[in-house]
Amino acid sequence: MGEVQDLYEKIVELAKRRGFFWPSYEIYGGVAGFYDLGPLGARLHQKIIELWREYFIHRHQDLVVEIETPIIGPEIVYKASGHLEHFTDPIVECLKCGRKYRADHLIEEKLGIKTEGLSPQELTRIIREHDLRCPVCGGPLSEVKLFNLLFRTTIGPYSSNIGYLRPETAQGMFVSFKRVYEAMRHRLPIGIAQIGRVARNEISPRQGMMRLREFTIMEFEFFFDPENPREGLDEYLPRVADTKLRILTAEARERGEEKPEEYSVEEAINEGVVRVPWMAYWMAIARDFVMALGVPYENMFFEEKLPHERAHYAQQVFDQLVKVSRWGWVEVSGHAYRTDYDLSRHMKYSGHDLTVFRPYPQPRVVKVKKVIVDKAWVGRTYRSDAPRVFELLSRLSPEEVERMLRERGKVVVEGYEIPGDRVRVVEVEEKVSGRRFVPHVVEPSFGSERLLYVTLEYAYREREGRVVLSIPRRLAPIEVAVFPLVRDERLVEKARNVKRMLQDAGFYVYYDDDGSIGRRYARADEIGVPVAVTIDYQSLEDDTVTLRDRDTWRQVRVETARLVEAVRRFLEGASLEELGKPVGS
């Protein structure tokens, strides 16, 4: 209403009109937290996913493998993972109109009181103390309760078979860890990645594409030996040797600092800022990946979470934050040290052994204590009870037996006595061929729809009163535009041939012969087509065309026969001037 649109509104308007994204189910009034990706958005999304794959999987193909597991999981998985207990938000209900609100958000918005880490009881107390009421009808509010964010369903025809939609892909990697580990012939460290939809039943999501109830996660669990946490790193560390990370540590935050400090990856490791060396490595790759989407270094940093901000499974967490227009610093990735929490929980709940065994290079001889008992004496003394006595003795550790002998001069188990001269503890040498342990895990995790929005926001420029979407060339949904200069049949025919040639070469082509050439450039710039090919009258004479750079609006002329190669090189990063003769020179 006469107000100036903010950048978010401009992008949302453009996204709807040109087909990047829009709210789902619009004809039914929409459902909060669900968005569609249109033709351009879906292609941009695919390219962002492909770029992530390249950075984290393809370039690390000896370290990271990708799998696919289901979205729907049985209840036991989310009991084991802790999500049934911990994956909650505080909710409050109006006792008059029945509307429901996220309690912490309501308090922060209406009262301006910080609520991080507060319990439902504490939130209730704040509501009572400030007489906070329903913002719609003014009715009184209920006690604050915890609302579980898992989408619940039933698997098959038995109503007792509860299932949930995964809120992260991670549990798929943990539950199937052993199968992957076997198939990969016991490779360690190993990253197991997944890219797929997840669902979180937010109470009242209101940030458009930034907070969705259903979205796509790109993440991997990186399993390593906790006794050898640098294993394999030396081969990869040189790749990020010069990489600087801006980090705001939890300790600095507790001191009241708000500005991140700069560390090289090695400093972050050596100074113990990032506790797991591999985590620092993956943070460096995350930095480079987000920069490749168009976010400058200074608009990004890693914030260490405070203990009460961390998920239940994590011992250290860094959020990668990026500055966006409307919401300030927002999280685009999370880097969590999940320890052996998940595998250990699944061992406990499933009864399956999820440890790994690593042979020593050579079997080691170790000294171990053993309990030696005079079996003949026990047999004579306890007769038919003797097996039971052996069983009970076997459950005692050598240390316990030593203690009993030291303190009481005999061993007593469930009333059976063995005197000190019939039992002793000796030290023997044993050959041990390896070690069995539960791997620890660091997890880099990205939300791709949010990154898609961030990419659009950083690509958005206004120039001479119109929009140019400077999407990084390799991410552009439509790669090249083809225009006849005017709607002359000879130009149109040649333009169509050029279009087909480029399509056959594998490019996505935007063809347009409607309106003036200026309007057509504008329509192509607005959706971020990096380069436009124009067929003009000179094209009919010497079989050349012009190439125009979306970002500089400069033009060069190239031979049609060399066009495919020129476009390919341009998309790979060449400057226009390398590809042809400047127009008008």
Q: Return the residues of window 274-313 that contact a copy of itself according to CB under 8 A.
A: none
Would you say 24 or 381 has its CB closer to a copy of itself? Answer: 24
Is 503 a residue that touches a copy of itself (CB under 8 A)?
yes
Is 151 a residue that touches a copy of itself (CB under 8 A)?
yes
Give the footprint of a copy of itself on residues 129-148 (CB under 8 A).
147
Interaction mask 24-43, a copy of itself, x per CB under 8 A: xxxxx--xxxxxxxxxxxxx
Would you say 346 or 548 has its CB closer to a copy of itself? Answer: 346
Per the CB < 8 A criterion, the answer to whether 454 and 465 are in contact is: no
CA distance linking residue 245 with residue 262, whole number of Å: 6
338 SS3 class: strand
Residue 469: closest CA among 529, 509, 552: 529
Please report the beta strands in 389-478, taking only residues with DSSP state E, as ranges in sequence order: 410-413, 416-419, 423-437, 440-447, 460-463, 466-469
CA distance linking residue 470 with residue 527, whole number of Å: 9
Would you say 164 or 313 has its CB closer to a copy of itself? Answer: 164
Would you say 174 or 263 has its CB closer to a copy of itself? Answer: 174
Would you say 173 or 268 has its CB closer to a copy of itself? Answer: 173
Give the footprint of a copy of itself on residues 203-232 (CB under 8 A).
203-204, 213-214
Is 202 a residue that touches a copy of itself (CB under 8 A)?
yes
Is 91 a residue that touches a copy of itself (CB under 8 A)?
yes
In the complex, least distance from residue 23 CB atom to a copy of itself, rounded to whole angstroms: 10
Give the footprint of a copy of itself on residues 45-64 (CB under 8 A).
45, 58, 61-62
In the complex, least distance from residue 345 CB atom to a copy of itself, rounded to whole angstroms: 12
Would you say 161 or 325 has its CB closer to a copy of itself? Answer: 161
Is 381 a residue that touches a copy of itself (CB under 8 A)?
no
Among 197, 206, 370, 487, binds a copy of itself (CB under 8 A): 197
Count other C-beta atoms under 10 Å from residue 412's C-beta: 11
Give the footprint of a copy of itself on residues 67-86 (CB under 8 A).
67-74, 76-77
CA distance linking residue 280 with residue 269, whole number of Å: 7
Residue 341 neighbours by CB under 8 Å, 6+ apart:
82, 313, 314
Count other C-beta atoms under 10 Å from residue 329's C-beta: 15
Is 355 a residue that touches a copy of itself (CB under 8 A)?
no
CA distance linking residue 546 with residue 583, whole number of Å: 8
**Quick one: which segment of 11-19, 112-120, 130-138, 291-299 binds a copy of itself (CB under 8 A)?**
11-19
Is 238 a residue that touches a copy of itself (CB under 8 A)?
no
**Quick one: which segment of 14-22, 107-115, 276-284, 532-540 binds a copy of itself (CB under 8 A)?**
14-22
Is 113 a residue that touches a copy of itself (CB under 8 A)?
no
CA distance linking residue 134 with residue 98, whole number of Å: 9
Indicate if the alpha-carbon torsion angle 172, 178, 181, 184 is positive or negative: negative
Is 201 a residue that touches a copy of itself (CB under 8 A)?
yes
Give the footprint of a copy of itself on residues 509-528 (CB under 8 A).
509, 511
**Quick one: which segment of 65-73, 239-247, 259-267, 431-439 binds a copy of itself (CB under 8 A)?**
65-73
Is 22 a residue that touches a copy of itself (CB under 8 A)?
yes
- The single-letter code of the amino acid at 90 is P
Element (H, E) at 373: strand 356-373
**Quick one: which segment of 5-13, 193-201, 320-328, 439-447 binds a copy of itself (CB under 8 A)?**
193-201
Q: How far is CA 471 from CA 15, 294, 575, in A?
A: 14, 7, 16
Is 121 a residue that touches a copy of itself (CB under 8 A)?
no
Is 19 a residue that touches a copy of itself (CB under 8 A)?
yes
Residue 97 neighbours by CB under 8 Å, 6+ apart:
134, 136, 137, 139
Count other C-beta atoms under 10 Å from residue 197's C-beta: 12
Residue 142 neighbours by CB under 8 Å, 6+ apart:
92, 93, 94, 95
CA distance linking residue 314 with residue 342, whole number of Å: 10
Would you say 28 or 362 has its CB closer to a copy of itself? Answer: 28
Would you say 201 or 560 has its CB closer to a copy of itself? Answer: 201
Among 48, 94, 240, 354, binds a copy of itself (CB under 8 A): 354
Is 344 a residue that touches a copy of itself (CB under 8 A)?
no
Give the pair of three-digit tokens for residue 360.
């020593």
Would you say 357 or 508 has its CB closer to a copy of itself? Answer: 508
Question: Does the N-terminal peptide bond of residue 189 adopt cis geometry, omega within 30 degrees of 0?
Answer: yes
**Quick one: which segment of 176-184, 225-233, 299-307, 572-580 binds a copy of itself (CB under 8 A)?**
176-184
In the complex, least distance from residue 376 CB atom to a copy of itself, rounded to whole angstroms: 43
CA distance linking residue 550 with residue 552, whole number of Å: 6
Give the pair of three-digit tokens for residue 223.
């399993």
In the complex, least distance from residue 67 CB atom to a copy of itself, rounded to whole angstroms: 5
Among 88, 115, 142, 176, binds a copy of itself (CB under 8 A): 176
User: Residue 318's beta-bridge partner residues?
Assistant: 304, 335
**What is the DSSP secondary-structure string of 14-32?**
HHHHHTSEEETTGGGT--T
